[in-house]
Amino acid sequence: MAKRLRWLWLALLLASTSLLAAPRVITLSPHLTELAFAAGITPVAVSAWSDYPPAARDIEQVANWQGINVERILLIKPDVVLAWRNGNPRRQVDQLTRFGIKVQWLDTDSIEGIVSSLDALQAWSPQPALAQQHARELAAGFAALRQRYATRTPKPVFLQFGQQPLFTASANTLQNAVLRLCGGNNIFADSPVAWPQVSREQVLLRQPAAIVVGGDNARAATVKAFWYPQLTVPVIAINDDWLSRPGPRILLAAQQLCAALQPQR
């Protein structure tokens, strides 16, 4: 009788452990991987270039710029797949849905979208309080920057992505939102295209007071040399991953940009 009770207790313990097991989450872009970790989630599979935090580098990759490995995802049997509405191929993601895989689309192309996405991940986190905490800290960080730089004199700025050809960002981008937060006026905010290709002449005509690029000081020096002698303005280099990925580290990009664009008086 005692032996039977021990086995019953063990079976109940295993069942309860299974019920409390962390949800199996797959992320389909590097910034979604960052969001997952910030929410207390360790994904079971990720996309290529998921290199932050460092622990993400050791996780199996099931997606890249060429597409999604649908067959492998079906074998992994995740509880949810996190997808990026403006970055992942809709056809393949819909294919996962047709096979019965739960997909949660996250919109992270705005400051508010990143905060709300992090907040929404509480539903899939074994540490929901951590997800909520990080969402609040992110919102508070942006609110502090907004208050600090709200009265600064706006500066015309060229957001430079690439060089040959030259690309920039319009008003309908996260990077533009960060620039505005810091008291910068995007000289190509009026473009009807989110990521327009522009010419050297177009930039010179709009007379930016500063240029913002993703990269380090060496990258800034290269860009400065590219524009010399027609344009001799400060070139502000922002950590490329912080600036380009619509994840939690966009706050670090904003803090770096604001401090460089609007020095303390």
Summarize pLDDT for 188-200 with one digit per residue, the tens. Answer: 999 999 999 999 9
Q: Indicate the pLDDT class of residue 1, thresholds 50, 70 and 90.
A: low
CA gap 216, 197 in Å, rounded: 23
CA gap 108, 141 in Å, rounded: 17
Question: Among 140, 171, 198, where does a domain finish?
Answer: 140
Output the six-digit token pair for 83: 């997808």
Per-residue pLDDT at 85: 87
182 and 120 within one domain: no
Q: Domain range spanning residue 47?
A: 23-140
Q: At 97, which CATH number?
A: 3.40.50.1980
Output the six-digit token pair for 85: 């509405």
Question: Among 120, 140, 160, where does a domain finish?
Answer: 140
Number of structural domains found in the chain: 2
Determine which of 17-26, 33-42, 239-248 has the lowest per-residue pLDDT on average.
Answer: 17-26
DSSP conformation class of 55: G
Q: Say if residue 12's pLDDT is above 80.
A: no
Beta-ladder partners of 60: none
How long, in residues, is the chain?
265
134 and 182 within one domain: no
Q: Indicate the pLDDT class of residue 3, thresholds 50, 70 and 90.
A: low
Q: Say if residue 6's pLDDT is above 60.
A: no
Tell me: the pLDDT tens digits for 95-125? 999 999 999 999 999 999 999 999 999 999 9
Per-residue pLDDT at 17: 40
Q: One-letter amino acid identity for 187? A: I
Per-residue pLDDT at 87: 87
Flag whether 48 is in a domain.
yes
Decide if 236 contacts 263 (C-beta within 8 A): no
Decide if 196 contacts 167 (C-beta within 8 A): yes
119 and 31 within one domain: yes
Whether the upstream peptide bond of residue 229 has omega within 30° of 0, thus cis, is yes
